[in-house]
Amino acid sequence: MAKVICMFNHKGGVSKTTTSYNLAWMLREKGKRVLLVDADSQCNLTNIALGEDEFAQFYLDHPDRNIKGALSPAFDAKPVMLEAVECVTVKGQEGLFLLPGSFELSEYEVSLGVSFTLSDTMATLKNLPGSFAFLLSRTAEHHQVDYIITDFRVRFEATV
Ligand SMILES: Nc1ncnc2c1ncn2[C@@H]1O[C@H](COP(=O)(O)OP(=O)(O)O)[C@@H](O)[C@H]1O
Ligand SMILES: [Mg+2]
């Protein structure tokens, strides 16, 4: 089972993204397989990992291959299971994978916040808090990683 390292702080500019990327890079240098998860809707980690030139094109080519697309069955109440994400291998870094972020992830924050308090009374919200950890564990298994490193800015940190 992969170890999870979770970088979170509600303040911006405190090195969550930089530390996530460098830690992942160093672990991979030491021979570990690492999954980087961009759970900040600013998508800076995705930008760093894909590189400035590939970043915009990636979203045009793969509009749903990101964290919001992967969580959509849970948050948009679709009757299908969450599937492991086919993550992006960081260029030249075999064994270092990126689950790309989404500029629209913040749309799910309200539902998530409500689910923290109302899931006992509203059955439809019950699966939301656990969906993130479920997705990460499926995706980590799929890529057989040793570590998951998550870069958070918002409420999703409470779900891992
Ligand atoms: N260890 C460090 N030494 C110097 N500058 C750093 C260090 N870590 C981060 N920075 C710089 O600080 C700024 C904010 O870092 P960032 O990782 O984007 O923060 P966050 O993700 O918490 O918003 C960036 O310009 C980054 O290059
Ligand atoms: Mg950041």
Is residue 29 a part of any domain in this protein?
yes
Is residue 160 a part of any domain in this protein?
no
Confirm or reject: Cβ of 124 under 6 Å from ligand 1.
Answer: no
Q: Which domain, by its residues, includes 35? A: 3-155
Task: Quick: pLDDT tens for 101-132.
Answer: 999 998 888 777 777 776 566 666 667 878 89
Partners of residue 149 on adjacent β-strands: 5, 36
Say how many domains are in the chain: 1
Q: How far does the centroid of ligand 1 lie from the alpha carbon of residue 17, in Å?
A: 7
Confirm or reject: Cβ of 14 under 6 Å from ligand 1.
Answer: yes
| Angle between the N-to-C axes of helices 67-75 and 128-143, in degrees from 0 to 180, rounded to the nearest 10 | 140
Tell me, yes or no, if the pTM score tops 0.75: yes
Task: Quick: pLDDT tens for 18-77.
Answer: 999 999 999 999 999 999 999 999 999 999 999 999 999 999 999 999 999 999 998 888
